[in-house]
Structure 1
Amino acid sequence: MTIWSVVNDDTGEKRGRELFARIALLSVLALVVASLGLALTPGSPPEPAAPPFSEQARAAALTDAMRLRAAGAELGRSAGGTGQPAVARTVSLLTSQARALLLPGDLLPGEMVPGQSAPASFASPVPATPSSTPSPAAPPAASLPATAASSAPALATELASSASQRLADAAVADGGMARLLASVGTAQLLQASSLAAATGAPAPPPADPPGPRPSGACTGKPASPSSSGPSDGEASLPGALAATVRREHETVYGYQVALTRLSGTAATLASELLARHEALATGAESLSRVHCAPVPPREAGYTMAPAFLASPAAGLGGLEASTLTVYGDLVALSEGETRRWAIAGLVSAARRSALWGSGTGALPGLAADPAGFPGLPSPGVTPSPGG
């Protein structure tokens, strides 16, 4: 091989190595630039998670209460005559319920005006505890028509529709929220009937929840008598069932005593309701067995207050009203068929209380002081985070 050919080969090989090094360097630089670009480019924000069913149900209940409240207030200003006191009572009821449903985080632009649909910001961003029960499709922000009620009978019909939705949502919501929704729906149902009766209109279609027949047998280890009522103050399903059984036993005894002092239509009504309470006591005992909870024994008798003996009709009203919180507790601490049975029991207890002239308040079955509820904003005023 000649000298020039060797030199030529060495030069070409050197140039090839230099070219390869440049290409490699450029590739590395390109990767660095690309990675920096990706790091500096903001990614798409993740879609916000849908609120839990219980929170959506609360927001829908608040929306309906505010809309019906505004419709009732407008109806009270524009009409006169028959039914106006009942309309005013309806507005007062819805005001208390809206305050109970309101959370500090709710964005309320003020009172809704009749004919106005609920704004998108009406739902609260505050989450609720996830439910262990599979949730159905979440309720819409406003489950009723956006048009205002044109008359007291129309308002009664829409109020009954709202009550039906609240009771349906209560069957699957989280425990505490289920109790609140059942309480709201029960009071709305009674007020719808009262409003229709005050205006001479036919009663709205019944929205009472179905009362399933408790069935089944204990499939686990039966609880000991000491576990039927929690000793540390913590509420439990066995404790709520035991309280329901005891209260129904006492109520049955009260009706038996009252029947010896009543006559006429009051005695007929008391006899019918006595049979109903005997069936409720049997149902509560059956549910206790299904849940492996001990059944409290029937007492030989109960001490009745002198006022009860002097005025048995009023005493039965107070006795019925005392069962509301018991059924409210059972709604909160149960689920499935047991909760549906408890909701039906709450509604029927409120109806029986009203039959005897005992008031049930804006939230039957819920022990709460309305004075502690947050106030509603004035029109055009947005509430502060503190309520």
Structure 2
Amino acid sequence: MSLAMRIYFSGVVNGSYRAQNILKTISDAGIAFTYNPMTYFSLEMKNKYLRKILKFFCFIFFVPFRLILIAYSTHVFVLPMNTNMMSIVDIFVGRILNKIIIADYYISQYDTIVKDRKLVSENSLRGRFALFKDRFLLKAADIVIFLNESEADYYQKVVGVNIRREKIRIIPLCVDYKREMFISNQKDYESFNVCWWGTYIPLHGLENLIRAFSHIGNDRIKLYLFGDSNEKAKPYVSLIKSLELTDRVFINNDFHFSNGKLAPILAGTCDLAVGNFGSSDKAKTVLVNKLVDALSFGIPCLTIKTSATTELLPNNEGLIITESNPESIAFKIEECFNKRSTLNEIGMSGKKKYFDLFSPDIFRIKLLAILQE
């Protein structure tokens, strides 16, 4: 396999753990590959218009080189979160040259900007273009990798495309190993720390979680929010102040897995993780990353039931299920506090599921199996 196969990777790697894991798996397996990082010259450029101009000229400059690389490759592999015009061109060239096209369909760009975040309307130029790119990716690829069957069905419905079942492959979310996963920490039983981490997007229903704390009377129960942006956190800061929860709900946007600060905090002090409380169709379908993070640490996770959690965690391994309204969330948090002696067993069942389904070893096995077909 490693002698005959040559893979051309299309898209951007920076900031995507899944893309990094794909490249690592291919490299460790000894498979020849090439990667053409179009953003190399523009990553540090702050002005978005100059950045676009530079990308355009880089694209023109690299076209002959890209054509040669694709022509010499056996596969064109579109990395996750790369539904962009450059990848569309790579796929188009790959189809003409009869290459095997693999696309990791991590999320739908159309669903994200139109349905979920509502940044543009479906009839806008940007919305229609995003729909075109999503549809092209699904139709043109020989193999489409989804995170789970539930999301495969959901995204096809959203973009209005039905692809053949034999084109679909499933590789669930993957969370890298961290040293904190293998260290047993003694929690402080004087307090009960509920932790949320991630990006400030509507999918998570974060406002429902914050409002839940206005229904919790126990001052020993605290909520810690580890986000990614001081600017995007402002509406939640205002909500916390308006509900007079500043002594029990805290925001910190400086702790991330990428800088090594978040993992020790979660492993050492987090009693209960929280997942997704959104109300959109997407929120009711997907398995959010932070839920898998929680499983990997053996921390029980409070979340709503989704199609993907039912599919991948049929016995609610590592999960405590609630409705998305603040009252139900508050009731479950207080119940967890009162029955905290049972949480370790729930967390350990989730950790076992992590090793069985979401670990780098399982990711590697599944990806290589697809390439060996």
Measured against the shorter chain, the TM-score band is: under 0.3
Q: Which has the higher strand share?
A: 2
Scaled by the length of structure 2, the TM-score of the pair is: 0.23
* Structure with greater contact order relative to length (CA < 8 Å, sep ≥ 6): 1
Higher helix proportion (structure 1 or 2): 1
The structure whose Rg is larger is 1
Q: TM-score of the superposition, structure 1-length normalised?
A: 0.23
